[in-house]
Amino acid sequence: MKGRIESGQLCTVVPVNISEIEVGDIVLCKVRGKEYLHNVKAIQGNRYQIGNNRGLINGWIGPSSIFGKCVSIED
């Protein structure tokens, strides 16, 4: 299964108001000191469950770990 974003693809990430994030959005976030693009799988109060497009759930993060939202992906 391919990911939604493949290595080397150019992505545009913009700042986002945390209240505008929805399940299914791709967000730029920091996990264990590294930045990743992850899918938002669930929202529970002030927590965001992130995962990849291959079905893996990576865990929960808080709003301070989210830096922006991916708005476009170039081919």
Q: pLDDT of 5-57, one tens digit each?
A: 777 889 999 999 999 999 999 999 998 888 989 999 999 999 999 998 888 89
Domain boundaries, the chain: 12-73
Q: Tokens 């299964």 correspond to what residue? A: 1
Rounded Cα–Cα distance for residues 42 and 49 (Å): 5
Rounded Cα–Cα distance for residues 75 and 34 (Å): 25
> Hey, which CATH number is domain 12-73, 3.30.1330.10, 3.50.30.10, 3.40.50.880, 2.30.30.140?
2.30.30.140
Q: Position 16: which residue type? A: V
Rounded Cα–Cα distance for residues 17 and 74 (Å): 23
- How many CB atoms are closer than 10 A to CB 67? 13
pLDDT of residue 2: 54
The DSSP letter of residue 17 is -
Tell me how far apart the 2 most distant CA atoms of the chain are, in Å. 35
Q: pTM of the predicted model, to two decimals? A: 0.87
